[in-house]
A and B are shown apart, each in its own frame.
Chain A
Amino acid sequence: MRNRLRLLRAERSWSQADLAVQLAVSRQTINAIETGKYDPSLPLAFHIARLFGQPIEAIFFPDDEPGPDRTTDHT
């Protein structure tokens, strides 16, 4: 899975440590999610979505999908 976590965090000027505290996880977990090395569990994904006020699908998307910031229209 890919995600927009780093972008959403940067928009709020939060460090990884700040985000980790708000989600009650370690900074290592935040870094692993942002770099795509770890996919969060469903409860954690919902927690992240609630924190940023967006649906899960707007934050996490499969590797083979373009995601909300990319278009598939190549015309």
Chain B
Amino acid sequence: MQRVEQRWQRALLISLGLYTLALPLTIMLLRADLPTLLRYLIAIIPVLPIGYGILAYTRFLAGLDELQQRIQLYGLAMSVGGTGLITISWGFLELAGLPRLSTLWVFPILIWLWGLGVMLVNRRYQ
């Protein structure tokens, strides 16, 4: 495995690990009666490891060769398009009575579709 892929996988594991720790900690802390500003700061603690993961991904992308970058960018394009379609469709469907979709779901949908997109584009170059 290329070194750039090893670095990315290590950073991804760290990001996921920190997120797994941060989420229950945040939920626990938000149960306390705290000033509003402090509550807001606590609420975005889980975003920090996600931000670290995104930063690691941009470094990963920069270290790939031209074909691998193309595969990743096509995957991202499919992800953005798919997420846009799903979320805007759901938005309109909410007008027709579907339950409200929390914006917390947008990022997971984006990530899943990115993974699917990369897998599909990769097959074209096998």
Contacts and interface: CB of A to CB of B under 8 A. Distances in A.
Given A32-B67, A44-B66, A38 B125 contact: yes
Interface of A: 24-26, 28-29, 31-32, 37-38, 40-41, 44
Contact of B124 (A26, A31, A37, A41): A37
Contact of A25 (B65, B125, B126): B65
Contacts of B2: 26
Contacts, number: 28
B10 to A, nearest CB: 19
Contacts of B65: 24-26, 29
A24 B67 CA distance: 12
A20 B88 CA distance: 43
Interface of B: 2, 64-68, 124-126
Given A28-B68, A44-B66, 6 more contacts: A26-B65, A28-B125, A32-B125, A37-B124, A37-B125, A40-B66
B122 to A, nearest CB: 8
A33 B67 CA distance: 10
Nearest to B70: A38
Contacts of A26: 2, 64-65, 67-68
8 contacts: A28-B68, A29-B66, A29-B67, A31-B125, A32-B67, A37-B125, A38-B67, A40-B66
Contacts of A38: 67, 125
B114 to A, nearest CB: 18
A26 B1 CA distance: 10
A31 B126 CA distance: 8
B52 to A, nearest CB: 25
Nearest to A20: B65
Contacts of B126: 28, 31
